[in-house]
Amino acid sequence: MGQVYPEMTVLGLMSGTSLDGMDLVRARFFSEDDSSLSWELLDYEERAWPEDFRARLEAAAENHAIPASEFAALHHGIAKHFADFVRAKWPAKIPAELSAFPGQTLHHAPELGYSLQLGNAAVFATLTGLPTIGDFRSPDLTLGGQGAPLVPMADALLRRHPNEARALVNVGGIANLTLLPPGQGTQGVSAWDTGPGNILLDRAAGVLLNKPYDKNGQIAASGKVNTKLLDGWLDHAYFSKSPPKSTGREMFGASFLNAAKMNNLAGEIGAPDLFATLLELTVLPLARALEDGGAQAVYLSGGGAKNTQLLSRLSERLPHLRVETLEALHCPVGAKEALDFALLAYLAHLGRPVALSAVTGAECDAMAGLLSPPSCNEE
């Protein structure tokens, strides 16, 4: 962007589509010269949602009918849980100047021009005393974009290499891909959601194993891919759609494969084969995109980066590429999106865009939508 980046410490918060918990990152952004952005990860922590609250979030995210009172309680409760998380770590003054609070996505409908994130940024700002940037998606959606993915801006500024063509893959509930050709800045960057990430695998683990997930993909590794079932799933219109595109639980949640269907399929082909086939539904769209993406190396993050069978299957399908986790770029795999949103809040504070129109399809690069100052200034 050609300007000095002033030093600032920013708190980034994140809860993804998988609803596996709250992520907290504290990062310092600064400039070592007149054009390049540098960063330092100062803190990273995770905390699970209280199980009863998580169940309520999932019910709302799966489009169950909820009264206005429950909607309001979730909106307030998300902010309160995040604030409690932050305050438990720093009971006195929080060592940051700004926070990023993107909230919890409950419904993503870019074809209709909207996406709903619950979590009251003003409540979070008031409880923590931190100026808070929120509502990152609405401006891009209003400008005709998808409102997602937003992390490519951060990928370009934090992880682009002058000589190496890189692919950044985040496998959370949904899998997304950023292609970074060699160079600097944001020109030439492309990105989109490839399809389901962990969302169906985790749901199957809950239904069939009574576990939150298939650790290391062990059950999937013991099964075989059912090609007939996989081919039927891949006939879904989303996979043949060209970018820009983004998706969520609305498309790949219970409406795609509910508990009853999972139980029936497990009875027909066996649970291991079902897990192997669900894993391939995540891997294959990624592999197809990466085959033509021109990348030399692939760096995985999110919960899927901890799934050794997923990494193994992706490596097998892409023998010409180096497949690693984001740890190779000095970032914990679970910290990526909280760090990315910390950077987006920092950019918003500087009056710069947070979305790439070349990625989302918007009329122009959009700004973030909301600043909530703290209600009490102690200085």
Which is nearest to 272 in space by CA: 320, 217, 233?
A: 217
In the structure, what pLDDT confidence band is assigned to residue 377 with cuts at 50, 70 and 90? low
The answer to whether residue 3 is domain-embedded is: no
Q: Which tokens in the block code for residue 51? A: 């199980």
pLDDT confidence of residue 96:
98
Q: How far apart are CA 155 and CA 185, in angstroms?
A: 10
Clarify whether residues 26 and 50 are in a common domain. yes
The domain that contains 49 carries what CATH number? 3.30.420.40
Clarify whether residues 16 and 132 are in a common domain. yes
Clarify whether residues 78 and 206 are in a common domain. no
Per-residue pLDDT, averaged over 273-287, amounts to: 98
Contact of 139 with 369, CB cutoff 8 Å:
yes
Clarify whether residues 343 and 293 are in a common domain. no
In the structure, what pLDDT confidence band is assigned to residue 36 with cuts at 50, 70 and 90? confident
Specify the amino acid at residue 234.
L
Clarify whether residues 132 and 19 are in a common domain. yes
pTM: 0.96
Clarify whether residues 85 and 197 are in a common domain. no
The answer to whether residue 137 is domain-embedded is: yes
In the structure, what pLDDT confidence band is assigned to residue 64 with cuts at 50, 70 and 90? confident
Q: Which tokens in the block code for residue 24? A: 């907290």
Clarify whether residues 53 and 141 are in a common domain. yes
The answer to whether residue 15 is domain-embedded is: yes
Last residue of a domain, one of 314, 329, 344: 329
The answer to whether residue 140 is domain-embedded is: yes
The answer to whether residue 309 is domain-embedded is: yes
Clarify whether residues 212 and 316 are in a common domain. yes
Clarify whether residues 277 and 364 are in a common domain. no
Clarify whether residues 217 and 84 are in a common domain. no
The answer to whether residue 184 is domain-embedded is: yes
The answer to whether residue 357 is domain-embedded is: yes
pLDDT confidence of residue 2:
46
Range(s) of the domain holding residue 180: 161-329
Clarify whether residues 125 and 187 are in a common domain. no
Domain count, the chain: 2
Per residue in 137-196, pLDDT (tens digit) is 999 999 999 999 999 999 999 999 999 999 999 999 999 999 999 999 999 999 999 999
Clarify whether residues 112 and 167 are in a common domain. no
Contact of 342 with 134, CB cutoff 8 Å:
no
For residue 319, whether the previous peptide bond is cis, meaning omega lies within 30 degrees of 0, is no
Question: How do strand 104-109 and strand 114-118 relate by DSSP bridges?
Answer: antiparallel
Inter-axis angle of helices 68-89 and 51-61, to 10 degrees?
Answer: 130
Per-residue pLDDT, averaged over 30-34, amounts to: 82
The answer to whether residue 72 is domain-embedded is: yes
Q: How far apart are CA 178 and CA 313, in angstroms?
A: 19
